[in-house]
Amino acid sequence: MVQGRKMKMILLLIIQIVMAATAANVTYDHRALVIDGKRKVLISGSIHYPRSTPEMWPDLIQKSKDGGLDVIETYVFWSGHEPEKNKYNFEGRYDLVKFVKLVEEAGLYVHLRIGPYVCAEWNYGGFPVWLHFVPGIKFRTDNEPFKEEMQRFTTKIVDLMKQEKLYASQGGPIILSQIENEYGNIDSAYGAAAKSYIKWSASMALSLDTGVPWNMCQQADAPDPMINTCNGFYCDQFTPNSNNKPKMWTENWSGWFLGFGDPSPYRPVQDLAFAVARFYQRGGTFQNYYMYHGGTNFDRTSGGPLISTSYDYDAPIDEYGLLRQPKWGHLRDLHKAIKLCEDALIATDPTITSLGSNLEAAVYKTSSGSCAAFLANVGTKSDANVSFNGKSYHLPAWSVSILPDCKNVAFNTAKINSATESTAYARQSLKPDGGSSAELGSQWSYIKEPIGISKADAFLKPGLLEQINTTADKSDYLWYSLRMDIKGDETFLDEGSKAVLHIESLGQVVYAFINGKLAGSGHGKQKISLDIPINLVAGKNTVDLLSVTVGLANYGAFFDLVGAGITGPVTLKSAKGGSSIDLASQQWTYQVGLKGEDTGLATKDSSEWVSKSPLPTKQPLIWYKTTFDAPSGSEPVAIDFTGTGKGIAWVNGQSIGRYWPTSIAGNGGCTDSCDYRGSYRANKCLKNCGKPSQTLYHVPRSWLKQSGNTLVLFEEMGGDPTQISFGTKQTGSNLCLMVSQSHPPPVDTWTFDSKISNRNRTRPVLSLQCPVSTQVITSIKFASFGTPQGTCGSFTRGSCNSSRSLSLVQKACIGSRSCNIEVSTRVFGEPCRGVVKSLAVEASCS
């Protein structure tokens, strides 16, 4: 027994010694975060663990590392971890410890943004809705009930990380934590209480003794030692509030979020790379992409309101975990170029000089001889040739060239060396041998959701109730039901005309049923006003109004007080004018949620399912169920909901989120191409105008069995479920790229060897590689060395073209998975003198 205790004590001592040896000391100075006494240039990317699955995490993290990231940044989602007070969830997609440990295993750091307000286009900004009902609470201000709850949850997370030894001070990967989030954007609305609240937040966080620094983003008055950091499309002009703090960028928006009813925003990679290079050029040492992988708003987690289920964000890794090219590859090359400059960047501040109008040089030069330079053309229209250190350099408009030795260009933000790879949706039927829609329809069963009040917990209240206070967000759905008597001589029954039901709602969707039949509907983000012609009968009439939320507000001062639902007025008007009845003040019956939700139709078996034909379609309020086999292969799976209206879907009991393929984007704002030059904004680059905002919905592979999977839909609007299809998201077989003689050589070939002359340095190279390891290049659809025109998929030959282009490219590439072709007259000959020539290639893999 004594011997056993001694062994345990020895083992404990060994563990403590190992931990002490691996623990890191993380501090900061005016240049950078300092880890174990050494300044670090860090490149970070956001991946939100609940927006993907644990099975996806290792691949996402590895692709992030391969892309040149040092840090993974994530929010902590209070509403997911504590859906009911003191009832915690750290399992499945909310297994935060597992996620952090996987990042650690990959050799990366973690920035843990606890918040606990996160915004993030997440329902209610990440706050659990039960918080709204704490007596006396006021969110995000100097309010004792709120501060008590905020401190309790923040402490819970910090203690959990400490118990698992996950802070760098304990030998773990977490080098930085964040408290609060973008409060400086809206703090003026809270008056003097905002300042005391921020001071308290900082003091509370510091008292938790994590052993690593804390930051506050968008908080210019962040008290010491909090690091105030920048969020935005550009942060090169940002300055910390103390010369003792480093210049850090916590959110570089790699694209933008999608809303139902909106076109798809995207951000050209040339502009994104320009923003990053400008930040490091002007003294930055920590930059984070928001998002690096956006993922999916599963279940009812999307906020907004009206945020789509997809949270793709035009990120370098797309919603399904596939690389978005050339964005991922171009940024990887940028990161390599920046890291080539690291010794100079961490040693000193930049010396910035003007090279002309809109032209700028930043030089980092050390006493030991290290030298790195960034040359920028911030003009939006004209390319420029600049003289720097006795040499001439060509700078495209809105671009930065990086010179790790102050002489030779390793990278230019406007010149892409990574091929474009498209992705495609490969459709499969629900059954391997599925045939016509009629045949598929016979495989469906259904249950009709009752219109109006059907549950025993319905209740009466005079007047109209605000929805969030009534449902506590337990469901998207709230029924407002009213019975009224219409006398036979009233004008509401005049022949040849209809009465008009006027409804005003705070959003986001309203369906009006009169005597059990759908009379009209509407939707809106914050305000809905409907005038619905209706038929009434003499005697008793029933008005059933179904109000539907599509995510709760997540941003702005007092966003928690933004209401939803039918708050009135609601009036009944005679079609001929004159008489009207105020319905808002009458006695209404309320029902929170649906009968099918209460009986668990999405997750449990039920004897109520009806399988007989014909299957009712294009009718509101129907539950549908079918079974299907998983699509073959290992590619990510999606459902195309075209043919349905709006609702929520479950696969094997897991909610894949809200679907709404009938939500159509407006026709304005999209262009065939988007000029990357000039400041980016959220609506600058748009596509898919006039089309559904989202038709494809992600189904994680890990949720599927090989066969016998169950799909359940609640179709609220009315559609035909037999029209939907399963399929896989696949990296397309086409590759295309254009590289000019003025492109820098591949950054992988960079060398500091001063003995290599410019003549002998590697020339520009066009590189192609099939995205799948089992593929080879089977055909060359286009090849031209000279002055080719157009973009990927629409290349054309210019007036100058080498006749050897196609044959040389075919010889170099066909039959191989990858090929590298030098872009030079040495290879292709001289088709035209005095012109900078380019090589454009489009290839197919199979």
**Would you name the residues annotated as active-site residues?**
182, 251
Q: Got the DSSP string for 673-686?
A: S---SS---TTTSE
- Return the closest-CA partner of residue 692 out of 644, 654, 629: 644
Token pair recorded at residue 493: 């029954």
Token pair recorded at residue 52: 């993907």
- Return the closest-CA partner of residue 554 out of 200, 307, 233: 307
The position carrying tokens 């062994």 is 7
3-state secondary structure 818-843: EEEEECCHHHHCCCCCCCCCEEEEEE
Q: Torsion angle of alpha carbons 143, 145, 148, 154, nearest 10°?
A: -80
C-alpha 512/C-alpha 505 separation (Å) is 12
Please check whether residue 732 is in contact with residue 422, taking contact to mean a CB–CB distance below 8 angstroms: yes
Residues contacting 749, CB < 8 A, separation 6+: 762, 765
Token pair recorded at residue 450: 């009752």
Token pair recorded at residue 517: 């039949």
Please check whether residue 260 is in contact with residue 660, taking contact to mean a CB–CB distance below 8 angstroms: yes
Residues contacting 554, CB < 8 A, separation 6+: 119, 120, 121, 122, 123, 124, 125, 126, 303, 304, 307
Please check whether residue 516 is in contact with residue 623, taking contact to mean a CB–CB distance below 8 angstroms: no
Distance of CA 165 to the CA centre of its chain: 29
The position carrying tokens 């809303």 is 259
**Could you say which DSSP state residue 703 is in?**
G
Q: Torsion angle of alpha carbons 530, 531, 534, 540, nearest 10°?
A: 70
Residues contacting 108, CB < 8 A, separation 6+: 61, 64, 65, 69, 70, 71, 72, 173
C-alpha 171/C-alpha 185 separation (Å) is 35
DSSP β-ladder status, 248-253 and 227-232: parallel
Angle, helix 327-340 to helix 269-281, in steps of 10 degrees: 20
- Return the closest-CA partner of residue 630 out of 582, 677, 699: 699
Given CA atoms 596, 600, 604, 606 in this order, what sign does their dihedral have? negative
C-alpha 247/C-alpha 460 separation (Å) is 57
C-alpha 308/C-alpha 279 separation (Å) is 31
CA distance to 88, 180, 316, 325, 761, per residue, from 51 (Å): 18, 21, 15, 21, 45
The verdict on whether omega for the bond into residue 291 sits within 30 degrees of 0, i.e. cis, is yes
Token pair recorded at residue 822: 């030098």
Which amino acid, residue 189? A
Residues contacting 626, CB < 8 A, separation 6+: 430, 440, 443, 444, 445, 710, 711, 721
Please check whether residue 738 is in contact with residue 768, taking contact to mean a CB–CB distance below 8 angstroms: no
The position carrying tokens 């620094």 is 213
CA distance to 69, 176, 226, 337, 373, per residue, from 41 (Å): 11, 14, 19, 12, 15
Angle, helix 192-207 to helix 144-163, in steps of 10 degrees: 20
